[in-house]
Amino acid sequence: TYNKTNKFTAVFQSIVDSYGVASYLEVNPAPYTIITFPFLFSCMFGDLGHGILMFFAGLYLVLREKNLIARNIKDEIFGMFFGGRYIILLMGLFSIHAGFIYNDMFAKAFNIFGSRWYNPYNETQTAQWIHDEEATKREIMIEFNPIPAYQHSMGPYPFGVDPVWNVAENRLNFLNSMKMKLSVILGIGQMAFGVVLSLQNHRFFKSKIDIFTVFIPQLLFLGCIFMYLCLQIILKWLFFWVEEKWIFGQHYPGSHCAPSLLIGLINMFMFKSREPGFIVNETRVGGNLVELEGCYLTQWYPGQSIVEAILVLIAVICVPIMLFGKPIAFIMEQKKHKEAHAENITVRANVLSEETEIVANGNGKAEAGEHSPGGGGGAHHGENFGDVMVHQAIHTIEYVLGCVSHTASYLRLWALSLAHAQLSEVLWHMVLSNSFNASHNLIVGGIAIYIVFFIFAILTFSILVLMEGLSAFLHALRLHWVEFQSKFYLGLGHPFLPFSFKDQLSKVELTSSN
C-alpha cells in the first residue's frame, strides 16, 4: 500500500499507519483524521490561554523548520515535537476555538457580548443580604430564577457559554451536563461517519452482500438506539424550558417535568407503558393544573411508545441479519457453484469396451471465479462455512457490544475537559490569586506577584500544556484507533517498498558476510 503524503499530511498518515497500514485499496482514514483528531483533542483541552501557548509553539516550529532542519538536531524528544509540528499547530488552533466555546481562559471567563442574566433584586434586598453576610460571617447565595433573571428578549449568548456561569455556585452541574451530552453526540456522530465510510469499501470491492447484511443493519442498529438518543438530547435542549407552555401539542408545566432521557431509554427497552403528556386532562384544583405523578417519566411527544417500540424491534432484527446474513449467502453461493459444476460435466461411455470417462464441457462456468459473497472482506472460496460463521459471530458481537462501550468511551471528552478546567482553576486560585493579597505594601506586593507569576507560568506550561496535552493526545489517539477506525478500517496491509538494486545488494552482502 502506498499513500502519497507531504510534510503536512505525513504526521497524520503516520498516526494511522501506527495502528495498521491500510489494506490494498481500502479507504484511508488519514484525510479525515486531519480534522477530527485536533477537534477531539480540543474538546478535552478546551482553554483559550493554553491553546494560544500551544499554537505559538507549533507556529514557531513551522516558521523555523528550514533553519531547524539545517541545524540537524539529534535530540530524540525534540525530533518527536518537530515531526509533529503541524499537528501541534492545529491542536492549538482548535483548542482556541474550544476555549471560546467553553468561555474559558486560564480558569476565567470573558464577557464579550454581555451576559443574558441580570440581578432581578433591588438595592434594598441586596444591601440587607450583604449586612446579614457580614453579621453572620457566612456566605449567602443568591438564587436567580430564570424567568425574571434571564433576558428572553435578547436570546441566548451568541457564541459559547454565558460568562455568568463562571461565578455560579452550580457551575459544575451545568457544565458537566452540557459536556457529557456533547461528548455523546460527537462520539455517536463520528461512529456513524465510520460506518458510512465502510460503504465506500463495500462499493469499491463490488460486495453487495456486505452492503445488505453488514452496512445497512449496522447503520440501522446505531440509528434506532443511539442516534435517536442524540435527537432526544437536541430536542430537550431546544424545547424544554422553565416556563409553562405547550410542547408537541401537550401542556408542559415546567422544568420539574422535563423528560429524563436516561430512564426513558431504559423504559424504551423494557416496553414499559407510560402515561401520555404531563398533566391529568387539563384538570385544575384551586386554579392549578394537576400533574401526573412522575411527570418526567411520561411520554413527552404523541405516539412515543409506538415509535420507540418500532425502533427497538428494528434494532433487534438487525442483529440476526448481521449474524446469519453472510453465512446464508455463503451457503447459497456454494450451492450455486456446485450446481454449475454438475451441469458442466459429461459422461461418455463406450458400449463395446464397457469403458466410461467424465469430461468437462469447457465453457468455464464452473471455474469462472465469480465474486465471493464477501467481496472485499467476506467469504472466499478457500473458506468453509464454519470459518464464515465464526467470523460473523465475532464481528456481530463486537459491533453490538461496541456500540455501547464505544459510546461510553467518548465520555472521556467530558472527563478530561473537566479535569483540565479544575486543574487550571486550582493553579489560578491556589497559586496566582494568593499573590494579589500577599502584602498591602505596593513594592512587596509587586515583587510577590512577579515571583509567583513565574511559578504559575512554569506550572501552567509543564503540567497543563505539556502533561495534560500529552494525556489528551493519547486519548484522542485511542478514540481514532479503536472507536472510529474499527467501523471500517482493517489495516492489514504492508507498506509499499520500491525495488532497489542497492538495497538488495546490501542485503546479499550482509548475508554473505554472516
Q: What is the pLDDT of residue 218?
A: 96
Q: What is the pLDDT of residue 283?
A: 57
470 with 5: CB under 8 angstroms?
no
What 3-state DSSP class applies to 206? coil
CB within 8 Å of 374: residues ≥ 6 apart: 207, 209, 210, 326, 380, 388
Report the DSSP beta bridge partners of residue 345.
360
Q: Is 248 left (phi over 0), alpha (psi -120 to 50) or beta?
A: left
d(CA 222, CA 487): 12
Read off the C-alpha cell for 87.
499537528
Position of cell 518527536?
A: 80
| Phi, psi at 360, each rounded to 5° | -75, 145
Read off the C-alpha cell for 133.
453576610
d(CA 71, CA 240): 61
Sign of the alpha-carbon torsion through 265, 268, 269, 273:
positive
Q: What is the mean pLDDT of each run of 10 residues along the chain (514 residues)?
A: 88 92 91 95 94 95 92 88 94 96 91 87 82 78 82 86 88 92 96 95 92 95 96 93 85 86 92 84 62 84 92 96 92 82 60 56 44 43 79 93 94 95 91 78 83 91 93 96 93 84 79 72
Q: What is the pLDDT of residue 185?
A: 96
d(CA 498, CA 503): 10
Q: How many Cα atoms sit within 13 Å of 98 on the Cβ side?
A: 25
Q: Is 277 left (phi over 0), alpha (psi -120 to 50) or beta?
A: left
Can you spell out the DSSP letters for 118-171?
---S-HHHHHHHHHHHHHHT-PPPPP--HHHHB-GGG-S-SSSS-GGGGS-TTH
Q: What is the pLDDT of residue 374?
A: 39
Report the DSSP beta bridge partners of residue 349.
356
Read off the C-alpha cell for 418.
473537566
pTM value is: 0.85
d(CA 508, CA 504): 6
d(CA 70, CA 85): 16
| Domains in the chain: boundaries | 10-116+151-169+416-487, 171-311
What 3-state DSSP class applies to 202? helix
Within a 10 A sphere around the Cβ of 362, how many other Cβ atoms?
Answer: 10
d(CA 224, CA 228): 6
Among the residues of 137-170, which ranges form H helices?
146-149
Cα dist. 456→191, 430, 450, 469 in Å? 39, 10, 10, 17
Report the DSSP beta bridge partners of residue 348.
357
